[in-house]
Every structure is written in C-alpha cells, then in structure tokens.
C-alpha cells in the first residue's frame, strides 16, 4: 500500500515523494536499535558506513539544527563542546623553528608569530570572522552537522583581497554544499567526493549555491565547482573505516533530548491545568442519590472570601485536587541528562549546571570528560589548525613576508606546538600548588605550565621583566622579586605565606 501511495505522489509531486523516501531511509538507518514487537531484540544492520550516511545524514543534520535552534539542552551541549575543544580564544600556536645546530630560532619564531597574529585578524574571505571565531564555528558545525569544510585560497586571486601580510584566506563551507546524492561512478565520485583507487580524496565537488528548497534533480556538473583535495580541509566525525561523510554528535541522543523536552512540556501543561481551581457540589452518598424531577443549571461565581449561601439541604462544596505536576520530573530529567552527557561526550555537570558535590567527585568528573575533550581537540588541531598554520608558514616565506636566515633549518620551518583549552579547575589553589611541586621536582617546566594555562612563555617573561623593572624604578618591591632558590620543604611554605 505504501508503494502505491508513494508512486501516486511521485507522479504529481516528485519533490515530496523524494523527501518521504529520504525520511524513511533515515529512520531505517538510525533506528537500528529500535525493539521488535516479538521480544525487543535489536535489528542487525551490516550496511557500509557510506550507505548509512547516504540514507540518514541529510535528515539527521536537519534534525540536529532544529534541536540547536529550539532546545536549550542541545544548544548547551554544543556550547560546552566548543568551549572545551577549541576554547574562547581558539587553539594557541607557538612556532618552533630551529637553527641548523638544533637550537630554537627565537628571532624567526617572533617573525612568524607576529605575522600569524596579523593573519588571525582577517582570515576568511568575508572579513567577518577572526581566526578564533573561525575555529569555533568550524567546531560547532563539526559537532552539530557531523562535518565541516574549509577551502584555502592562496596568492593572487582576481577579485579577492586577502587583507593580511601573508596572502592566505579561508572559505568556510557547510556540509549542505556537498550533497550526499551527487555520484558519478565513472569519475570515482561518491557523495560529492572524488577518490582514487586507494580511497584517497582527489577532488571535492561543491554546489555554487545553497541547495535549500531545490529538488533532487538539481545536481549536475554545471551547477558545481571542483575543489582539489590539497586546497580543502574536511573535518568530520566518523566511527567507521573509510566513512566518507560525518554524522552529528546528536545521532545517538536525539530521541532522548526530544523525550526530555516532551516530558517537560507535558508537566507544564499539567501544572497549568492544576492551577485552574475546580469545585464540585457533593450531595450525600451515592446510595442515597435520588434523581430530581427537574434539573436546572446552577452557577457559582468564585471570588475571594465568598460564602456559599444557596446550597440545598445535604449539599457541600469540595475542591478537586490534582496530583500534577508529578514529583518524578526532577529524577527523570536527572537520569536522562546523565545518559545524554555520556552519549554526547560532555561533562554532565556542565550541561545540567549542577555543581553540587565534593571536590574529589567534581575533579573525577572533569578528568573523565577531559579525555574526550582532549581527543577531540587533537583531532581538530590535526584537521584544521595545523594544516592552516603549516600552509601559512610556507606562504610567509614564499611571499617574502618572513625573512629567513642562513642558519635556519628549513626542515623545521613549519614546526610548532599547539595548545587547546586547559581543563577547568575545581580548586585553583590546590592545582596551583601541584604545579609548583611538579616544577620543583622537575616533572614539568615553567614554560609548560604557562602554555597549559593558554599563555606564551616568552610573552610572560618579557611582561614580568618589564613589570619588575618599572616597579623597582618606583622603589616598589614584591614578594615575587629576587626569590632565592628555596631549600627543600621551604618552597611550599613560602608560596603559602605569599599567597
């Protein structure tokens, strides 16, 4: 029957028929864990990763965007992920080029860092976003849509003003511009990605305009532009080998978030109903009830302090009590949030805003979530920040913006260290003391601690030197000035006293 209906719809409204079929495929792909009626067993699905994404990713992406726009918890999950994976100021980059004798080339590092700071002001072709915002937008699209694309534009391009000293710009591209349905077997194109025999991407085929409201028949080669793979970054969330397209982080928790929202809305409606006070006139007991010969409507208007003075003999007024809203809402929401946090890789306390508990408990929760954040940060750096910086460093030399010296080891030109946001502190004093002991014991260096806090060690050194010089010129002396090497056991006492 469904096929007959689909065929009839296809005859008069092909676009509608396609969307119906697409939705059915999406449910079939990502409702694989739905129980059967005869025993609740899961339905096996051994489809390839690309077939699953072809069936569902488009609709899944649309559902995820609806959640972001209309569900506070979904928006909070995305905010938490972006803040902990990329951070407020983006990924920190510290150039690490070396001289031929192996020493760090600090002078050339400062050149690159200065040019990198200039590039970060206008990195994208629209001049609307600075680099930290570009990274945050890429990370948000990555989590919400499952993937995001970024094209590199280098050197002189007609009509494009880079606006920076190094001729490099980036173009942010949403996943919609690379339709899943675009396929050409003769050219090795599947889901808008052209690959060689080994599965390596050669070209990306990108729509010239956003496909919103366009029918399935829209896609063809004249409507698309080819972007070579070496000019494109594809950041995707995958869980399978050779998975061409990514899947939203909401894929496994989408129904759970909807259930939370539906339950909350139901309780709100119940609370409104319960707030509307009702009363009933009780006439004795049911076994003594006698039907009146004539029935007339009786009306009582409620008002503060009113007295019922027209009740008949044996009648009394009783209010109707409501047991809603349910007291179970809090427990239900709590357990559902914990499950949603586990599925979305975020810290439960961050999305629930419930920070009650001991220091040890909060610290363990942070450490547990931090492993997820660091894993995602490393993946983001490897796909976005590092390729962009390495391309930038090479262009800085080729364009003449950075002047190299004879002692520079060119093999280390693009070397750099990358630092994501540090783990939130449950007790800054305890963790600060732990860092002091680690530095004193040689387990960490002071520059390493500074980098973990998101700062540049050289900048901190220069600022500290200048601050001390200015303070001593004004005959000011602080406890941090001229500290002699501490004896064993004194360092913590002095640090505690100074604090």
pLDDT digit string (tens) for 274-330?
776 677 777 766 666 666 666 666 666 767 777 766 676 767 777 766 666 666 777
Is residue 351 in some structural domain? no
* Mean pLDDT of all residues in 23-29: 51
Quote the domain boundaries for residue 267.
254-289+307-344
> Which pLDDT belongs to residue 320?
67
Task: Calculate the average pLDDT of the chain.
Answer: 80
For the chain, what is the domain count? 4
User: In this predicted model, what pLDDT tens digit does every residue of 107-145 receive, in sequence order?
Assistant: 999 999 999 999 999 999 999 999 999 999 999 999 999
Q: Residue 13: is its pLDDT beyond 70?
A: no
Residue 374 inside a domain? The answer is: no
Do 34 and 75 reside in the same domain of the chain? no
Q: Would you say residue 296 lies in a domain?
A: no
Count CA atoms closer than 13 A to 423's CA, side-chain side: 21
Using a 10 angstrom Cβ sphere, with 0-12 exposed, 13-18 middle and 19 or more buried, the burial of residue 333 is middle
* pLDDT-based confidence at residue 487 (cuts at 50, 70, 90): very low
Task: Give the pLDDT score at 136.
Answer: 97
- Would you say 223 and 210 are in contact if contact means Cβ atoms under 8 Å apart? no
Looking at the fold, whether 184 and 229 belong to one and the same domain comes out as yes
Burial of 214 (0-12, 13-18, 19+ CB in 10 A): middle
Helix (H, G, I), strand (E, B) or coil at 183: strand
One domain for residues 390 and 488: no
Phi, psi of 288, deg, nearest 5: -105, 5
State the virtual CA torsion across 34, 35, 36, 39 in degrees, nearest 10.
170
pLDDT at 36: 43
Tell me: do 122 and 136 sit in the same domain: yes
Of 387, 404, 422, the domain-final residue: 422
d(CA 348, CA 354): 8
In this predicted structure, the answer to whether residue 494 has a pLDDT above a threshold of 70 is: no
| pLDDT reported for residue 38 | 40
Which of 419, 452, 456, 426 is CA-nearest to residue 438? 452
Percent of all residues in the chain with a pLDDT value above 70, rounded to a whole number? 74
Read off the pLDDT of residues 329-353 as tens digits, 9 standing for 90 and up.
777 777 888 788 888 888 777 777 7
Q: Which residue has the higher pLDDT, 313 or 496?
A: 313
Q: Which range in 17-26, 226-235, 259-268 is most confidently predicted, on average pLDDT?
A: 226-235
Are 383 and 234 a contacting pair, CB within 8 Å?
Answer: yes
Specify whether 439 is located in the same domain as 313: no
Under 8 Å CB-to-CB from 310, ≥6 apart: which residues? 298
- Predicted model pTM: 0.75
DSSP code string of 104-128: B-HHHHHHHHHHHHHHTTS-BTTS-
pLDDT value, residue 218: 46
Residue 70 has pLDDT above 80, yes or no: yes
Q: Based on the domain organization, do 276 and 417 belong to the same domain?
A: no
Angle formed at CA 165 by CA 164 and CA 166, multiple of 5 degrees: 90
Whole-number Cα distances in Å, 274 to 242, 353, 401: 55, 29, 71
Confidence of residue 434 (pLDDT cuts 50, 70, 90): confident
Q: What is the C-alpha separation between 115 and 122, in angstroms, rounded?
A: 12
pLDDT at 33: 34
In a domain, 354, yes or no: no
Whole-angstrom distance, CA of residue 79 vs CA of residue 75:
6
295 domain residue, yes or no: no
When pLDDT is averaged across residues 196-202 and rounded to a whole number, the result is 93
| 214 and 109 share one domain | yes
pLDDT at 243 over 50: yes
Write down the pLDDT at residue 108.
94
User: Is residue 302 one of the residues assigned to a domain?
Assistant: no
| Rg, Å, the chain Cα set | 32
On the question of pLDDT at 26 being above 90, the answer is: no
Indicate whether 9 pLDDT > 60.
Answer: no
Looking at the predicted structure, is the pLDDT value of residue 229 above 90? Answer: yes
Residues 73, 38 share a domain: no
Question: Highest mean pLDDT range out of 42-51, 375-384, 465-474?
Answer: 375-384
pLDDT in the model for residue 150: 97
Show the tokens assigned to 59. 């609709």
pLDDT digits 0-9 by tens, 147-180? 999 999 999 999 999 999 999 999 999 999 999 8
70 assigned to some structural domain: yes
Looking at residue 98, its pLDDT comes to 93
pLDDT of res. 345: 80
Q: Are residues 84 and 16 located together in one domain of the fold?
A: no
**197 and 125 co-located in one domain:** yes
With vertex at residue 21, the alpha carbon angle to CA 191 and CA 51, rounded to the nearest 5 degrees, is 35
pLDDT tens-digit profile of 352-382? 777 676 666 666 767 767 888 899 999 999 9
What pLDDT score does 294 carry?
A: 62
**What are the tens digits of pLDDT across the range 387-423?**
999 999 999 999 999 999 999 999 999 999 898 887 7
- The pLDDT of 189-213, averaged and rounded, is 90
What's the pLDDT at 424?
Answer: 65
Q: How confident is the model at residue 270 (pLDDT cuts 50, 70, 90)?
A: confident
pLDDT at res. 39: 46
Pair (407, 276) in one structural domain: no
Residues 68 and 205 in one domain: yes
Any domain includes 59: yes
β-sheet with 193-195: strand ranges across: 183-184, 189-190, 193-195, 201-207, 224-228
């Amino acid at each position: 029957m469904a096929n007959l209906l689909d065929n009839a719809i296809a005859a008069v409204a092909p676009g509608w028929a396609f969307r119906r079929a697409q939705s059915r495929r999406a449910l079939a792909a990502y409702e694989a864990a739905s129980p059967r009626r005869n025993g609740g067993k899961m339905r096996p699905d051994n489809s390839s990763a690309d077939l699953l994404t072809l069936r569902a990713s488009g609709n899944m992406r649309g559902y995820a965007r609806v959640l972001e726009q209309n569900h506070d918890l979904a928006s909070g999950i995305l905010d938490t992920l972006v803040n902990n994976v990329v951070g407020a100021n983006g990924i920190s980059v510290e150039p690490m080029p070396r001289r031929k004798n192996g020493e760090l080339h600090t002078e050339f590092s400062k050149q690159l860092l200065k040019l990198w700071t200039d590039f970060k002001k206008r990195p994208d072709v629209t001049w609307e976003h600075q680099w930290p915002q570009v990274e945050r937008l890429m990370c948000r699209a990555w989590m919400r849509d499952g993937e995001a694309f970024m094209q590199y534009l280098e050197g002189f391009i007609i009509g494009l003003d880079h606006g920076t000293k190094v001729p490099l710009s980036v173009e942010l591209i949403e996943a919609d511009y690379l339709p899943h349905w675009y396929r050409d077997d003769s050219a090795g194109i599947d889901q808008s990605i052209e690959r060689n025999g080994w599965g390596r991407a050669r070209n990306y085929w990108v729509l010239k305009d956003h496909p919103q409201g366009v029918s399935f028949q829209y896609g063809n080669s004249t409507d698309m532009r080819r972007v070579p793979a070496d000019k494109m970054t594809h950041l995707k969330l995958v869980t399978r080998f050779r998975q061409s397209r990514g899947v939203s982080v909401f894929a496994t928790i989408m129904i759970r978030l909807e259930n939370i929202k539906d339950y909350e809305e139901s309780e709100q409606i119940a609370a409104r109903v319960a707030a509307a006070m009702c009363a009933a006139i009780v006439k004795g007991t049911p076994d003594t009830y006698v039907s009146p010969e004539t029935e007339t409507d009786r009306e009582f208007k409620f008002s503060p302090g009113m007295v019922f003075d027209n009740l008949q003999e044996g009648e009394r007024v009783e209010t109707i009590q409501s047991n809603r809203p349910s007291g179970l809402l809090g427990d239900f929401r709590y357990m559902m949030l914990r499950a949603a946090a586990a599925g979305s890789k975020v810290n439960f306390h961050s999305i629930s805003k419930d920070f009650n508990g001991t220091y040890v408990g909060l610290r363990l929760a942070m450490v547990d979530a931090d492993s997820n954040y660091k894993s995602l940060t490393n993946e983001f750096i490897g796909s976005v920040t590092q390729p962009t910086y390495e391309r930038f460093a090479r262009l800085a030399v080729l364009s003449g913006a950075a002047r190299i010296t004879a002692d520079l080891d060119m093999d280390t030109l693009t070397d750099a260290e990358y630092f994501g946001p540090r783990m939130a502190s449950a007790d800054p004093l305890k963790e600060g003391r732990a860092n002091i002991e680690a530095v004193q014991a040689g387990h960490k260096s002071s520059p390493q601690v500074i980098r973990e806090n998101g700062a540049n060690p050289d900048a901190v050194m220069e600022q500290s030197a200048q601050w001390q010089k200015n303070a001593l010129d004004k005959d000011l002396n602080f406890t941090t000035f001229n500290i002699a090497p501490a004896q064993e056991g004194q360092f913590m006492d002095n640090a505690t006293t100074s604090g």
